Amino acid sequence: MKVTILFICSCLAWEGLGKPQFPDQEKDPLFWNTWAQSTLKNALTLQKLNQNTAKNLILFLGDGMGIPTVTAARILKGQLSRQSGEETQLEMDNFPFVALSKTYNTNAQVADSAGTATAFLCGVKANEGTVGVSAAAVRSQCNTTQGNEVTSILRWAKEAGKSVGIVTTTRVNHATPSAAYAHCVDREWYSDGEMPAEAVQAGCKDIARQLFENIPNIDVIMGGGRKYMFPKNQSDVEYPGEKKHFGTRIDRRNLVEEWNNRMKNKNAHYVWNKKELLSLNPNSVDYLLGLFEPGDLPYDLERNNETDPSLTEMVEVAIKILKKNPSGFYLLVEGGRIDHGHHDGKAKQALHEAVEMDRAIGHAGLMTSIYDTMTVVTADHSHMFNFGGYTPRGNTIFGLAPMLSDVDQKPFTAILYGNGPGFKVVNGLRENISTLGYEENNYKAQSSVPLNMETHGGEDVAVFAKGPMAHLLHGVHEQNYIPHVMAYAACIGQNRDHCMSSSGASSLSAALPSLTALLKLIHLLC
């Protein structure tokens, strides 16, 4: 009987949808055949591999952007443009080469953002919770730091004469960006105020301090994290009355002031809001430090458009500054709050963060060329996030499945989490979400296991690549392979022999026509 009722409800739901939610042209096989043939012709052109040397390198890192998140963000992007969404193309979808990355840490089957950042930035797999150190370092044990430091591709690029930049929607000393410059056995040692006294006494440095001391002339730094740069209890410039935003440094150092003093003769600017950022003339800025919040930047859905820059706006300014270097640049861009949205069970926040990062990817593509810029888009790990329930074409990604549960006879959303804060029982039964605002920005999607914070997922993540040597990202790889490929493409780091030989060959090839003409002229004259 229950199955019959469920079937009737499902039929009524489908009938209520009216006509199929897709264009009439999709009924014609010619539409699909033509599209496939066009895609095939484009694929055949990829046989002509781009083996140029990459002048510029850009890595877009969607923190927590697993494959289900990519798919759901694609649908959301289309639905924001009043399309059904499934057929939409993300900017990263148009990248010609795609691979899978195995994300495990050396001591963890399901990874965290610190160990993974060390892999995709330093080329070495590491333990969870540690940044910029090898797996010989033990989390929170200060005395295991020295001798186990590993360097990042950002440093390799800087040492090769390129300009380098970091742009993130999290704190600039959060797990992902910190692996680019820091060597720390605990990702949460943001300032000395978060460190154990014995670690400070033993000589370990907090991550904020390392940002300015390890690679002192990082050309562009943008994100949040102001409070970790200022003395303990110093009020924040934007939130002077809120103690939670006060400075945290026990050593009483003002790292921003120190940076300003050190860089005062170098066309350097410190900004803390959108107005100051966008008022700059990038042509007259060589170094930029932008700290827009005491902690992480707000979610894009909650962003104050007057005071907080978007990820796209930050990326635009960063590229304009970095591209002035004739030797090129390396830029790390993190859509860091995708991860935070998922941890909170707030799928709408997470997916809008992913769409904004995709917007930044597209904008960066307009400002650079595939002939001399290698761009890679990937994630550090996935989440216990998914969507399903036999939803019809065009169903809002945040909407209900077109059926009731055949166990508790209650509706459910297409988006669900395997675990997290969305678990709730009322009178011993699953909560009836039909009475809730499940399409609101901060709705916490239901989960099967109750946790205060949803966890990461352990499956492989996608790697999208375009530009010089992008074809080297193919198949299934260990995550630490990524920076080796990017360094190879740009002739930095440890793989340079091919650059010398190929550049020599290129020079000879270019000189041959002139040499032939000269020989003909000599023959005629003689």
Active-site residue, selected from the candidate residues 101, 113, 134, 191: 113
The answer to whether residues 445 and 430 touch, using CB atoms and an 8 Å cutoff, is no
The answer to whether residues 112 and 129 touch, using CB atoms and an 8 Å cutoff, is yes
The answer to whether residues 400 and 414 touch, using CB atoms and an 8 Å cutoff, is yes
**CA–CA separation, 218 vs 412, rounded Å?**
48
The answer to whether 113 is a known catalytic residue is: yes
CA distances from 357 to 124, 351, 362, 364, 461 (A): 26, 10, 9, 10, 16
**CA–CA separation, 47 vs 15, rounded Å?**
47
Q: Is 380 annotated as a binding residue?
A: yes
Type of residue found at 132: G
Q: Is 192 annotated as a binding residue?
A: no
Q: Is 474 annotated as a binding residue?
A: no
Q: Is 174 annotated as a binding residue?
A: yes
**CA–CA separation, 463 vs 65, rounded Å?**
11
Q: Is 176 annotated as a binding residue?
A: yes
**CA–CA separation, 283 vs 483, rounded Å?**
29
Beta-carbon contacts of residue 285 (< 8 Å; ≥ 6 apart) = 267, 268, 269, 321
Q: Tell me which residue of 366, 369, 379, 323 sits closest to 50, measured CA to CA.
A: 369
Q: Is 456 annotated as a binding residue?
A: yes
**CA–CA separation, 509 vs 94, rounded Å?**
32
Beta-carbon contacts of residue 318 (< 8 Å; ≥ 6 apart) = 165, 167, 220, 222, 288, 331, 333
Q: Is 383 annotated as a binding residue?
A: no
The answer to whether residues 150 and 118 touch, using CB atoms and an 8 Å cutoff, is yes
Pairing of strands 56-62, 97-102: unpaired
The answer to whether residues 196 and 251 touch, using CB atoms and an 8 Å cutoff, is no
Please, where are the H alpha helices in 26-112?
Answer: 29-44, 67-80
How far separated are the first and last CA of the chain, in Å rounded?
104
Please, where are the H alpha helices in 344-419?
Answer: 347-367
Type of residue found at 433: I
The answer to whether residues 123 and 483 touch, using CB atoms and an 8 Å cutoff, is yes
The number of beta carbons lying within 10 Å of the beta carbon of residue 274 is: 20
- Known binding site for Mg(2+): residues? 63, 174, 176, 334
Catalytically active residues are 113
Q: Which residues are annotated as a binding site for Zn(2+)?
A: 63, 339, 343, 380-381, 456
